[in-house]
Structure 1
């Protein structure tokens, strides 16, 4: 479902789940955040850095959309990550500051998206410089799905380290309908 309301829901879900992820990571013993767990991005910190890099790259791309979303003006001052394995740091306070900043931008941006915006084509460049033109609504859906996918990996790494992140189901964020 690619509607503006759905993306507002996903922005809230992602911000809440990111807070849960970082709170759970606080319970790790020293050294466990950066311990190599043989995950795709190595450690939990590597996975968290990948999420920050991916979100930054996409938000900077979205800032070029013809709608010129006001909330994404904040991305102008942010440096472009050097790639998808860019490191913003290896300590939780530094990573959390970046995460909270991005989540605030995403939460402000989501309500600015309109159905007209979602229906447009969107052109962007990959990190290798390849040019793509895709349906904007589908690309925004990918953006949120990417966070959920890698946060699931982070949740598994935490579980393996003996830390429970709590309930992760989007269903808990979906509002109930009036009877």
Structure 2
């Protein structure tokens, strides 16, 4: 099962690199342009993903209180956000690589911003949520890319493409 999570961590980093390369190719004004997505823009959506990864990495490392709000935009400039994204992806890959089979059943305890009661969550399902959440919002960012730059602006992000490109298929 650990290979499943290391594959997803590597895929996540790969997909984020492709997505950020595509965002960088758009006119700079499109980064903050409101496209009607849940977090309005590429800036809002990609900041949300960075913030949630910071929160989940903190929880995986034993943190209890969320270090940020889910709608924070701590990285308003694309270059800084891209740098943080690279750092977060590397940290997530490193964390997953250090997990043991027993770690997947370990219980996390944390508090959500939306409610005061403590939450208990096993690491394995938490990782499933984290990677699924990334895919969900990456899809929204991809839709904004194609809305602003046309169908060619959105790179293929399929897991099977990643597996073929990296030889892991």
Could you say whether these structures have the same fold, taking a TM-score greater than 0.5 normalized by the shorter chain as the test?
A: yes
Q: Name the CA distance, whole Å, in 1 between partners of 2:106 and 2:28.
A: 47
Contact 1:21 1:155 in 2 (8 A): yes
1:121 aligns with 2:122: no
- Gaps of at least 5 residues in structure 1 are 66-78
Q: Which residue of structure 2 lines up, in the alignment, with residue 69 of structure 1?
A: none
Aligned-pair RMSD on alpha carbons?
A: 1.6
1:96 aligned residue: 82
1:166 and 2:155 matched: yes
C-alpha contact 2:48 2:71 (8 A) present in aligned 1: yes
Offset of residue 169 of structure 1: 0.9
Is it true that 1:39 corresponds to 2:25 in the alignment? no
* Count of residues paired in the alignment: 160
Alpha-carbon offset, residue 165 of structure 1: 2.9
Q: Give the C-alpha shift of residue 115 in structure 1.
A: 1.3
Tell me if structure 2 keeps the 8 A contact 1:22–1:92. Answer: no
- The TM-score with structure 2 as length reference comes to 0.88
Structure 1 position 80 matched with structure 2 position 67: yes
1:15 corresponds in structure 2 to 13
SS in 1 for 2:149: coil
CA apart distance, 1:159: 0.7
Aligned-pair CA distance for 1:119 = 1.8
8 Å CA contact retained: 2:143, 2:154: no
Once the two structures are TM-superposed, the CA of residue 56 in structure 1 deviates from its matched residue by 0.3
* Superposition TM-score, scaled by structure 1 size: 0.83
For 1:162 and 1:49, locate their aligned partners in 2 and report how far apart those are by CA, in whole Å: 20
Unaligned runs of 5+ in 2: none
**Could you tell me which residue of structure 1 aligns to residue 121 of structure 2?**
134
Cα drift, residue 134 of structure 1? 2.2
Residue 12 of structure 1 and its aligned partner are, at CA, apart by 0.7
